[in-house]
Structure 1
Amino acid sequence: MVELTRKQREFARREEDILSAALSLFDGNDWQSVTVAQIANKAEIGKGTVYKHFSCKEEIYARIALSHFEKFREQWPTKIPEDNRLAAVEQILRLAFQVSLDDPVGAKVAHFCHRAEVRKRLPEAVAKAFEELEKQDQCFFEELLEAGMSCGEIPRQSVEELVIALHASFHGTLRMIWDGDIAAFKGLTPERFIEINSRFMVAGILGKRSH
């Protein structure tokens, strides 16, 4: 293991300070209006110092989002199970929801980073890191669903359309929680709301396609 120099350690520490400052400022409804100057002020450094670490605010978003994804991937299955693929799908969905509840700021920023206008402003290396993570996750999920269909556990249908529907349901569920929409349902907690929607998503996988 290569030992970092003092200058490198200080650079890394300052970068973490910037990200921590950004996270604290992003914990609110108007987080997208937070400026680089405000982040610098929170981190008690100059605005120019922020740009020594990050080329733009979108790159700060990206670093927070990638960190959020890593929290999820630390618990991601390493291989497709040989039996009960449907249970594995539900486990992954519940895991993704739980990580989002545990890290709401990171989840919101990660959701925002799916936007094309954010991606196009990222440095090439960071944009590629996003693309690679998404490709790996999508391939794993598609292979899991395909394996379930091949053994008859999941009805044969378009894997691509199924992934799109699950993606929309997942982000729609989180959006309702973030926007406070579930308050319209008396006594409904985010955890219970997620449980209901996870079951609904799994039921949708088993449902017949409309023609």
Structure 2
Amino acid sequence: MRYQDQLFEQREHALLAAARQLFAEQPWDRVTIAEVAIAAGIGKGTVYKHFPSKEALYARLVLDLSRENLLELRELHAASPAQDSMRRVIRRAFEQMLSNPIQAQLCLHCDRPEFQERLETPYRQQFLDIEHEYQLFFGDMLNVTLNNQALSQSDCQNLLWGVEACVSGVMARIASGGFTHWAEPIALDDYFARVTDFIIAGLCAQATALLATSNSHE
């Protein structure tokens, strides 16, 4: 790698690290590009060579974390017994969110249509790409859970919508601070267990119904 490319990469990593640190110390939506530049020891003008807008910085943080999380979930899936893989992956996905509530807030922010519309084309495409990767991963897990009784792509998509709704709800709950403000607080570990049970039961029941319908039409 050329020296210029190494320097560019080092600056970019410094900016991302500085942003993560600042977001952990104060409301992330109030942190300015100038503050990120100062924390990273880099001129403000140079920041825009890496991230043309604050939205691009948010997007990069979310995309990087999404890729890291997906890699970990794939490894967990590969190392788990087939009958327990889906449950372990779902619980781990919830734990990933809980380990970084700020990133959960950023993920929700970056998922808004108006945010996506403001992004530069390469970033929008990366969000589409990572979404596609998660869909493929979900399809692989679902086939293993159903003992390789393959569903159609449209059926898998329908099931994924239900899972996405549950996962988004958990993410919103984590981003909002959990249940500590409730009159009778709920332990997040118990909450994760119940939601995981709900997702697994719903997936299995719906998949069985879809397979039965598909077989009856043959």
TM-score per shorter chain, which class? 0.7 to 0.9
**What is residue 197 of structure 2 aligned with on the other side?**
199
Q: Name whichever structure is richer in helix by fraction.
A: 2
Q: Summarize deviations over 1:141-192 as a string: whole Å, max 9, x none.
A: 13543565576799xx943332111111112112112212411264633333
- Distance of 2:170 and 2:29 partners within structure 1: 21
Deviation at 1:113, TM superposition (A): 1.7
Same amino acid, percent of matched pairs? 27
- Distance of 1:66 and 1:124 partners within structure 2: 14
- Distance of 1:141 and 1:85 partners within structure 2: 14
Indicate whether 1:72 and 2:69 are aligned: yes
- Distance of 1:95 and 1:77 partners within structure 2: 11
Equivalent of residue 121 in structure 2, options 121, 124, 127 = 124
Q: Summarize deviations over 1:67-124 as a string: whole Å, max 9, x none.
A: 111221222337988x976632222211211222223333332332222222223232
**What is residue 169 of structure 1 aligned with on the other side?**
166
Q: What count of residue pairs does the alignment treat as equivalent?
A: 203
Equivalent of residue 61 in structure 1, options 58, 79, 89 = 58
Query: 1:76 corresponds to which letter in structure 2?
Result: L
- Distance of 2:97 and 2:108 partners within structure 1: 10
- Distance of 2:105 and 2:172 partners within structure 1: 9
Query: 2:169 corresponds to which letter in structure 1?
Result: G
Is the Cα contact below 8 Å between 2:73 and 2:93 reproduced in 1? no
User: Given the two structures, how large is their TM-score scaled by the length of structure 2?
Assistant: 0.76
Equivalences for residues 129-140 of structure 1 within 5 A: 129-140=126-137
Secondary structure of the 1:100 match is helix
- In the superposition, relative to structure 1, how do residues 161 and 197 fare at CA in structure 2: closer, same or farther (>3 Å)? same
**What is residue 189 of structure 1 aligned with on the other side?**
187
- Distance of 2:49 and 2:129 partners within structure 1: 25
- Distance of 1:197 and 1:151 partners within structure 2: 24
Query: 1:132 corresponds to which letter in structure 2?
Result: D
**What is residue 47 of structure 1 aligned with on the other side?**
44
Indicate whether 1:115 and 2:112 are aligned: yes
Query: 1:95 corresponds to which letter in structure 2?
Result: R
CA RMSD of aligned residues (A): 3.2
Secondary structure of the 1:55 match is coil
Query: 1:8 corresponds to which letter in structure 2?
Result: D
Equivalences for residues 136-155 of structure 1 within 5 A: 136-145=133-142, 148-149=145-146
